[in-house]
Structure 1
Amino acid sequence: MKAVCLCCEVHVPYDVKWYWPEEGYSKVEFENYFDQYKIYSRFEKFVPHILSINEALLESMDRGASYTFDISGIFLDQCRLHPAVIDSFRDLKNRGAELACSPYFHSVASLFPDKMELREQVKMHRMKLKELFKYEPKTFINSELLLAKDISPIISQMGFKCYISEGSENLLGKKEPVYVYVNDMPTLLRHIDLSEDIEDRFSDTEWVCYPLIADKFASWIANMDGDVVTLFFNYGSLIKHHKKQDNIIRFLIELPKSLQKHGIEMILPETAVDTFGHEPLETLKTNATSRYGLHNLVGNHIQHLYLYELIDIGKMLHEIRDSPGYHDLVYVYRCLQQSEILLEMGPENTHLGAERAVNVFSVISDLKRAILEEKK
């Protein structure tokens, strides 16, 4: 193995609260449908951990590490109350970290037949990164690592240089994702097992490889064939390990030197695209995928119905785009596109999924009511 790309998704979702219009219908507002207390109290608890981890990442960058951060627009909006968090990511960017672009609201808009909403949210995120960080992103990472044949041509047309998606079995078979792959644009695929060693198993004392130290992890990668391994995990998993007082900080600081012992560099995705040859992978043109499989997003009737409701509301909103209440309505609509809402209704959440579906369909119903009233 020659190189490693390490990517972190930085995202804290907006939680839908229990909604029932007990006192009649009112104006559509964010706080009617989303649990602001839960959202911001959780963020407050995260802040000190974020700052500590980012300090460790700065130290690891001094030792040769490279990082790519996919920071959602929703997360950046929550940072308004804690500008020090933005400053800490700005320090990482100034040290050489890459910032990736994605749909602003961690949205499933790429599943809509009309890709205009996807384009709009990608533009929004690109503008926010330019506003806060003076940065022009070159790498695109879709919500839940979604990939389908009608998405990457659009992202390529928007000027991005690299696409990162899931290294799922329906794309690779039994092969490992260890190359830059040919598609409408160069594509890197997440190595699921190695990513989850950090994301899920790092704190598991029952895991046969516990404790995971940097030298051990680097030796696994060194014994692999190929050009580049792409690691992608949720930044929240680092916070989880840090809360447990695990050795995640030491692991991150020591990893670049451990990799260097084996002649392996930590590089940015755009560097990988320029450095290595591009391998053909025909399934990128025919198959769709997402993190842990597309069935987790649209694997049951409720999820399909919710997706079609979102598509229908998008058409309704297009008809009133010049009305005074449009911006408030479209903001709530975009918050309701969060991938987490679909995942919570998934086949694996047998009992809670149905309960949450009843609740979120109540919100959808009220939003449609408000749009119809706006049309009058």
Structure 2
Amino acid sequence: MPEMDRYFDRNHIFSRLLKTGRELLRLNDFFLESIERGGSYAFDLSGPFLEQCRWDPELLESIRELAESKKVEFTGGCCYHSLSALYPDLSGFREEVMVYSEMLRELLGVNPVTFVNTELLYTERVDSILADMGFRCLIAEGSRNIMDGCDPVRVFENGLPTLLRHINLSEDLELRFSEKSWEGYPLIPDKFADWIAGIEGDILTLYLNYTSLCLHHRNKSMIADFIRTFPETLKSRGIEMITPSEAVNRFSPVKLPTLGTEQTIRYGMHNAIGNHAQQLYLRELVRIGEELAEIKEKPNYQKLKQVFGYLQQSEILFSMGPENTREGYERAVNYYSILSDLRRAVLEERV
């Protein structure tokens, strides 16, 4: 019978959490100070990360402090950070979203109303499902095929009011902040606030990976001072930081015809499902999910379902992508072997 420890090195994951957890604690302190100075934030965490936080009560308490500030919104999402929104049958997607929302209620005492799909994936197939589940806002990637020449500076009309990430400014913080060779270095709050003030629009959405902030801090950059003082710098230019749900309540949505006709994901669909290995892995996930649905009454169903959930993580698909030409093939072979072993167990359970 497949076990989590058979496929995942949880001792390594635990030791890594102990190290990065200290960095996250420091960052959370910076955010709390930023909130006292007028900051508002939305946090998009994954189910596996929140589960790991159970191993580190101090880190979990730090995240609860952010929730209690009332200036942080925790967004809903797919529990396992999967691409289940692309599966033919969306019942698994709905279940993942429900499980994750319940996890947020249990651990943080919050009920999410803003939805962020895995890696800012946008597909109109899930809009009605999310609306039925009580979500009032959606955040997605502001890629060129979606924007069609527009700027991502409005609330856009859709099945759910939609905010789109401003890619360039987000990546100035996420990717380039510590690069001394970058022409924008050093990126101080005054300079960044001036860039934002020069853009006409209602709302500008910045979205960046939490891990990148840890890396900037590790590189002894000025990210801590930036986080602390940024709200006051914006305020001096008449700009306010607000949460996504506040944004859709405050601004009237405008029409964007390409919403509903295009798909997008952070760094492009080609990086997620652009090659044969990724597409084959996705098809195998769909097949195993269908076979799992046939054994819900069997004694080992929950154990198999948990392992299946973790094997859906988008990071697995991205690791096989065109950016990882050297290691992608080896990883694909390894994960196909794991999926084959899991499927064997599922089929045996059916007998």
TM-score of the superposition, structure 2-length normalised? 0.98
Map of 1:3 onto structure 2: none
Alignment counterpart, residue 357 of structure 1, candidates 313, 325, 332: 332
Map of 1:263 onto structure 2: 238
Partners in 2 of 1:225 and 1:275 — Cα distance? 17
- After superposition, give the CA deviation of every residue in 1:195-228 in whole Å (9 maximum; x if it has no partner): 1111100111110111111111000000001100
Structure 2, unpaired ranges of 5+ = none
Q: Quick check: 1:240 aligned with 2:220? A: no
Alignment counterpart, residue 119 of structure 1, candidates 71, 80, 94: 94
Alignment counterpart, residue 122 of structure 2, candidates 125, 147, 152: 147
Partners in 2 of 1:132 and 1:76 — Cα distance? 8
Q: Which amino acid aligns with 2:271?
A: N
Map of 1:67 onto structure 2: 41
Q: Residue 188 of structure 1: SS of its match in structure 2?
A: strand
Structure with larger RCO (C-alpha < 8 A, sep 6+): 1
Alignment counterpart, residue 330 of structure 1, candidates 283, 305, 316: 305
Pairing of 1:208-247 with structure 2 (within 5 A):
208-247=183-222
Map of 1:56 onto structure 2: 30
Instruction: Assess if the C-alpha contact under 8 Å between 2:148 and 2:258 holds in 1.
Output: no
Partners in 2 of 1:140 and 1:35 — Cα distance? 30
Q: Quick check: 1:34 aligned with 2:1? A: no
Map of 1:17 onto structure 2: none
Partners in 1 of 2:212 and 2:139 — Cα distance? 19
Q: Which amino acid aligns with 1:71?
A: L
- After superposition, give the CA deviation of every residue in 1:240-290 in whole Å (9 maximum; x if it has no partner): 111112111100011001101110000010110011110101111100000
Partners in 2 of 1:263 and 1:109 — Cα distance? 41
Structure 1, unpaired ranges of 5+ = 1-26
Q: Residue 361 of structure 1: SS of its match in structure 2?
A: helix
Q: Residue 153 of structure 2: SS of its match in structure 1?
A: coil
Q: CA deviation at 1:174?
A: 3.1
Pairing of 1:1-376 with structure 2 (within 5 A):
27-96=1-70, 97-376=72-351
Map of 1:7 onto structure 2: none
Partners in 1 of 2:89 and 2:340 — Cα distance? 22
Partners in 1 of 2:148 and 2:180 — Cα distance? 31
- After superposition, give the CA deviation of every residue in 1:134-164 in whole Å (9 maximum; x if it has no partner): 1111100001111112022211111101000
Q: Residue 182 of structure 2: SS of its match in structure 1?
A: coil
Displaced runs of 4+ in structure 1, greater than 4 A? Answer: none
Q: Residue 88 of structure 2: SS of its match in structure 1?
A: coil
The percentage of aligned residue pairs carrying the same residue is 48
Q: Which amino acid aligns with 1:44?
A: L
- Structure with greater helix percent: 2
Q: Which amino acid aligns with 1:157?
A: D
- After superposition, give the CA deviation of every residue in 1:91-150 in whole Å (9 maximum; x if it has no partner): 111112111110111111111111111111111111111111211111000011111120
Partners in 2 of 1:33 and 1:146 — Cα distance? 27
Q: CA deviation at 1:37?
A: 2.5
Q: Residue 184 of structure 2: SS of its match in structure 1?
A: coil
Q: CA deviation at 1:175?
A: 2.6
Paired residues in the alignment total: 350
